Amino acid sequence: MKRNNTETKPNTEPTNYIRSIGGIGNYYGGLSVKAKGGKYFWAIENYDGVSWEEIPADLFTALNALEDSRGNSQR
């Protein structure tokens, strides 16, 4: 799974944005969020891959704000 991947089109917002959040996870991977097609998702990678689940925009925003507040020393 690629982390912090952004595909952009000229003069538009990212079409596929994936970001790791915090230190929550398991042996295979951690919590990630993504935005795609105007919808927001989260997932934790597991032995059988990643199953993305749609989440509300405000939860996506809050998780990104949390990660931003952690600073570079936490990434």
Over residues 34-62, the pLDDT tens digits come to 999 999 999 999 999 899 999 999 999 99
Note the pLDDT tens digit of each residue in 11-31: 344 556 789 998 888 999 999
Residue 64, domain extent: 6-74
Nearest to 20 by CA among 39, 36, 42, 51: 42
Q: Is residue 1 part of a domain?
A: no
Q: Is residue 61 part of a domain?
A: yes
**Rounded CA gap, 61 and 11, in Å?**
22
Nearest to 31 by CA among 6, 55, 7, 15: 55
Q: Is residue 60 part of a domain?
A: yes
pLDDT of residue 73: 43
pLDDT of residue 71: 78
The partner residues of 50 in beta bridges, in order of sequence, read none
CB burial of 9-46 (b: ≥16 within 10 Å; e: otherwise) equals: eeeeeeeebbbbbeeeeeeebebbbbbeeeebbbbbbe
Domains held by the chain: number: 1
Q: In terms of pTM, does the model score above 0.75? A: no
pLDDT of residue 23: 84
Q: Is residue 15 part of a domain?
A: yes
